[in-house]
Amino acid sequence: MSDRNLSTLGKEVPVGEVDTELKAFFAADAEGITRASLMNFAIYTEADVETGLQNSEIIRLLTEETACRAILIISPHTNDGGEKGVRAWIDAHCNLGPGGKKAVCTEQVAFVLSGANTAMVNNTLFAHLDSDLPLVFWWRGELSPVFGDRLYSRIERFLFDSRDWSSPGVQFTRLVEAMDDDSADFVAHDLSYTSGAPVRRAIVNAFNDPRAKAAAPSLSRVTITHGPGHRMVALWLIAWIAERLNAELNESASGGERFVFDRHLSRFGAAVQMVFELTEAGECIHDAAITEVRMTDDEENAAITVSRATTAGFWKVHLDVPGCQNTVEELLPARPRQKSDLIAEILMRAGKNRSMLSVLPTLRAMLAQ
């Protein structure tokens, strides 16, 4: 990796002088710039350096709206042995403040570690946090031994993307064990789950219609079409729908891309089966992870479809249910869904992310299939 590429990270400084250099940067133009920070936002990746550098652009986009101290740690081959070293860079992302007088800048500190072990990663992070501010930690890629209690006990929000995991079932087990640890108090966010938020909102919107609500008990088939690489988003969606409809996974009847749930419509009645099927589309529509969700009854007398419009930035909600004289179609605006947008959406919310946590057991049961 050439130093020319690494120079995109900013000004290289000795690792022990990061804070001093940052202070000097802001002091050099104290009249013209002001520092803003609401949180520590750390991105950690064990990918190669070139891939790791792409995170700098995500930080730049994120900091347009979110003031933070961004800490990027690129640590390829962690715990593989090898000669140890840390290099550090500082940078600032500045935007003109209100009134155009002062630029508001957020700090970025980047580290490239070589031959790192868990202790080095932890120390690099801990030594450079902005004191007293929450730590939001985005782990990119597979969880590794670095994900230990000394790290996660210091994290407020832990972000990851299960689409990056080759064995999501195993990784979720690790995550849940960490969340159950007494020393842990972090809120977990899967970007795959967040990706599905517009679809969930569209489904909620659809069932606001009383005719759709009336058809809900009879729904027995759900077909979900997802874009390439977005299967996890679809699985989350299935788990969410099932959880909202009080359906339990029927493990013996499920297999492959077909998930069968038993739905208890009443306390004493027999369970009704609900079948979910996944289909992968050839391409994503406007970067949307989910292309279409179609919910029907056995005879297709009722059909509720949520789909991403191909021609414009909308979600279409289509109701074709008994009691409708005409089909009902509604359009919902679709917002951009780049990684930086997903993270900004997560950071906008407080709370324990209970929606995802309540669906997680169902998802894990599905992954165990």
Q: Is there binding between residue 302 and another protein (CB under 8 A)?
A: no
Stretch near another protein under the rule CB under 8 A, chosen from 2-10, 22-30, 72-80, 277-285: 22-30
Comparing CB distances to another protein, the nearer of 67 and 199 is 67
**Which one-letter amino acid corresponds to residue 163?**
R
Comparing CB distances to another protein, the nearer of 143 and 344 is 344
Stretch near another protein under the rule CB under 8 A, chosen from 121-129, 190-198, 234-242, 261-269: 121-129
Among the listed residues 47, 61, 102, 150, the single contact to another protein using CB under 8 A: 150
Q: Is the CB of residue 222 less than 8 Å from the CB of residue 257?
A: no
Q: Taking the complex as a whole, how short is the minimal distance between the CB of residue 205 and another protein, in angstroms?
A: 18
- Enumerate residues 6+ apart whose C-beta is below 8 A from 62: 41, 68, 70, 340, 343, 344
- Enumerate residues 6+ apart whose C-beta is below 8 A from 128: 18, 19, 71, 109
Token code pair at residue 196: 């599905």
Among the listed residues 24, 30, 312, 368, the single contact to another protein using CB under 8 A: 30
Q: Is there binding between residue 250 and another protein (CB under 8 A)?
A: no
Among the listed residues 34, 51, 79, 123, the single contact to another protein using CB under 8 A: 123
Please report, for residues 14, 31, 61, 253, 360, the alpha-carbon distance to residue 101 in angstroms, rounded to integers and kept in the order given: 32, 9, 22, 65, 47
Q: Is the CB of residue 68 less than 8 Å from the CB of residue 106?
A: yes
Q: Please provide residue 89's backbone torsions phi and psi, each rounded to the nearest 5 degrees.
A: -135, 150
Among the listed residues 120, 317, 334, 367, the single contact to another protein using CB under 8 A: 120
Among the listed residues 2, 3, 27, 256, the single contact to another protein using CB under 8 A: 27
Q: Exposed (0-12), middle (13-18) or buried (19+): which is 165, by Cβ within 10 Å?
A: buried
Among the listed residues 56, 75, 117, 362, the single contact to another protein using CB under 8 A: 117
Comparing CB distances to another protein, the nearer of 185 and 298 is 185
Q: Is there binding between residue 24 and another protein (CB under 8 A)?
A: no
Site for another protein in 61-90 (CB under 8 A): 84-86
DSSP string, 232-265: HHHHHHHHHHHHHTTEEE-TTT-BTTEEEEEE-S
The SS3 call for residue 293 is strand
Binding stretches for another protein (CB under 8 A) = 15-16, 19, 23, 27, 30, 38-39, 84-86, 113, 117, 119-120, 122-124, 126-127, 129, 131-135, 149-150, 153-154, 182-183, 185, 348-352
